[in-house]
Structure 1
């Protein structure tokens, strides 16, 4: 049976929906003044006005989450671009006066908008973007899911992590065919094995300061781990940033093959696990940037000509609704001239529309690279 409450990160009592403690409000007041006087350009600073702050600072969800649990990362990192995380699924409604404008600014998704129903579409729509293997090193598509009945990292107790891990692993162990694999818990994993998986871009790691400040690394490494098949073309991260991160990947640019594998994997997991899906936001996630389909479809790609002018590359990416990241993901640099290009939009589109946007964008980027002098 799942736990429905946990100890809040900012107060010691297990608590139901009500008011934040005096200590939490005191910390919020001090931190708000520092943010207001800072040179931060985060969406948190832009939209957390004094009026909204005063309205939200005393609120608390049934899981015990407060405004402080949602904004502590942005309060500690003034260079954040967003600065907010949902401490539990209820935060999107209880603190809507803050989340709604941030979500609109990032996604262009208005308060009156609704996420369309799940629609994977025909998987054979997408072909190999780079059949000669000249540019694309690898393709990866992932999506996130939240198990019903639990908060997110800032308000998760050690037992939450263990319960979620047990539920997910029991289902993963029943998979067959190309999805059959082995679960590797972080607890007890040899350091050399762990580092090898990290260096190969298969495994997540602790240490991102934005997630650390958001209290997303509680009870580390309890309840965390990675499941993968023999070929490492199907992987599941358990309790990293979200409860589940389901991903499929392989060398080269065959987007259609990777997408087909992901759709099949998610379909199988949904038969045994209950995930939270909001009529408004689609699949609910820890970070508001991942709401909606939660899909991030990316390629590791070599673009020597375009990369010689990063402003041009980033402008092109923006034109096609793509993001440019370093090889190891967000907040990292390129390695060996290889960049990570992925879709930026996840909310307000169907799964198939997200994939089509990514596929078209990468196709156009490749045309520009081939024609560049």
Structure 2
């Protein structure tokens, strides 16, 4: 795909971007975008464009400009954006990923020793369910803002072929959203299996173009290994089950990711590890989470937040980012994904969840 001529694209978005940027810097926004997109950085990058897909600074920051309550406010429209717009990406990445500076490189993939992980709640007192997911981008394709309808369909077809070849405990069925009844979609969303169309942050980032074309979900027969196709990233591979057996969930995710990687090349860089649409998900892209009920500790939100931060955990509502807790159930996961191995990310999450349960028991 040839990018539009540089002057043409830049001229089209320059005035709108200038006006939006001025609103951002004059606002009380707490986003990392506002924090690091100084006037000098903005001026240096506003006329740059990625060589293959012609992505502009506006493609990167449009969501943060439209949503002044963003926490981060930036996405990568294609893999090259992390290099072309490195002055802003590097600063935000260093802040979000706790000191991962331009001098750092992400370590090689290392799943580690699976015997180090355990059932975090063997008596089933607190943990409703456990899941471990990772995101992957397929080499040779841009990310959402630059993807065409053809790109979405091509990726879906590639993955449909891959899913047919899965074995062991992985075989299942791929369901495209275009052929799924609305009532079935709603039921799968309600049961925490299926994604729904992106929120206003993703829509502003142009992550929902041509919806629902090319989107779908693969589920193995037991609904314990899922793959989301063309949601926020090209692929989100998820292992999940009721209860707190983190070791078994992690093992199954590794099995699925390894099987898919044998047939699909994933986009990866020496500096950032696996490349994804959102810079918060770079590196391992691992997000290990539990749906957990901590009635005593959650009544003291400041204390729960303090313990979570100490162990680099992120506390979300029941349905994920930008949602509230339902019936006192929280989604708690590791926050760090970049600059550490897959094993270290899982271990950090395990230690943090065990600490939260220990405190709950002591109250």
TM-score bin, normalised by smaller chain: over 0.9
* Cα distance in 2, alignment partners of residues 16 and 227 from structure 1: 39
Residue number in structure 1 paired with 2:199: 208
Identify if the C-alpha distance between structure 1 residues 16 and 114 changes in structure 2 by more than 3 Å, giving closer, same or farther. farther
Residue number in structure 2 paired with 1:68: 58
Give 5+ residue unaligned stretches, structure 1. 6-13
Counterpart check, 1:230 vs 2:221: yes
Q: Please tell me whether the aligned partners of residues 17 and 63 of structure 1 are also in contact (alpha carbons under 8 angstroms).
A: no
1:306 paired residue among 291, 297, 300: 297
1:360 paired residue among 351, 356, 360: 351
Q: C-alpha offsets along residues 231-278 of structure 1, whole Å, 9 cap, x if unaligned?
A: 110000000000000000000000000000011111111100000111
1:51 paired residue among 40, 47, 61: 40
* Cα distance in 1, alignment partners of residues 268 and 5 from structure 2: 23
- When the two structures are superposed, what TM-score results if normalisation uses the length of structure 2? 0.98
Q: Please tell me whether the aligned partners of residues 18 and 60 of structure 1 are also in contact (alpha carbons under 8 angstroms).
A: no
Q: Please tell me whether the aligned partners of residues 292 and 347 of structure 1 are also in contact (alpha carbons under 8 angstroms).
A: yes
1:83 paired residue among 64, 67, 73: 73
Residue number in structure 1 paired with 2:122: 131
Q: Please tell me whether the aligned partners of residues 291 and 347 of structure 1 are also in contact (alpha carbons under 8 angstroms).
A: yes
2:276 paired residue among 270, 277, 285: 285
Q: Please tell me whether the aligned partners of residues 16 and 63 of structure 1 are also in contact (alpha carbons under 8 angstroms).
A: no
Q: Please tell me whether the aligned partners of residues 20 and 59 of structure 1 are also in contact (alpha carbons under 8 angstroms).
A: no
Counterparts of 1:1-373 in structure 2, within 5 Å, are: 4-5=1-2, 14-15=3-4, 20-61=9-50, 62-107=52-97, 108-372=99-363
* Cα distance in 2, alignment partners of residues 207 and 19 from structure 1: 29
Q: C-alpha offsets along residues 55-96 of structure 1, whole Å, 9 cap, x if unaligned?
A: 111111121211001100000000001000000010000000
* Cα distance in 2, alignment partners of residues 341 and 362 from structure 1: 8
Secondary structure of 1:246's counterpart equals strand
Secondary structure of 1:182's counterpart equals strand
Deviation at 1:21, TM superposition (A): 2.6
* Cα distance in 1, alignment partners of residues 275 and 5 from structure 2: 21
* Cα distance in 1, alignment partners of residues 20 and 7 from structure 2: 22
* Cα distance in 1, alignment partners of residues 111 and 301 from structure 2: 33
Aligned length: 361
Q: Please tell me whether the aligned partners of residues 10 and 56 of structure 2 are also in contact (alpha carbons under 8 angstroms).
A: no
Q: Please tell me whether the aligned partners of residues 20 and 57 of structure 1 are also in contact (alpha carbons under 8 angstroms).
A: no
* Cα distance in 2, alignment partners of residues 16 and 152 from structure 1: 20
* Cα distance in 2, alignment partners of residues 314 and 298 from structure 1: 16
Q: C-alpha offsets along residues 19-66 of structure 1, whole Å, 9 cap, x if unaligned?
A: 743111122111111111111110101111111111111111121211
* Cα distance in 2, alignment partners of residues 189 and 115 from structure 1: 39
* Cα distance in 2, alignment partners of residues 366 and 21 from structure 1: 53
* Cα distance in 2, alignment partners of residues 21 and 355 from structure 1: 43
Deviation at 1:172, TM superposition (A): 1.2
Identify if the C-alpha distance between structure 1 residues 305 and 113 changes in structure 2 by more than 3 Å, giving closer, same or farther. same
* Cα distance in 1, alignment partners of residues 248 and 317 from structure 2: 24
Q: Please tell me whether the aligned partners of residues 164 and 243 of structure 1 are also in contact (alpha carbons under 8 angstroms).
A: yes
Residue number in structure 2 paired with 1:8: none
Deviation at 1:335, TM superposition (A): 1.1
Deviation at 1:18, TM superposition (A): 7.6
Q: Please tell me whether the aligned partners of residues 20 and 58 of structure 1 are also in contact (alpha carbons under 8 angstroms).
A: no
Q: C-alpha offsets along residues 159-212 of structure 1, whole Å, 9 cap, x if unaligned?
A: 000011111121011101210000000012101100000000111101401001
* Cα distance in 1, alignment partners of residues 22 and 148 from structure 2: 30
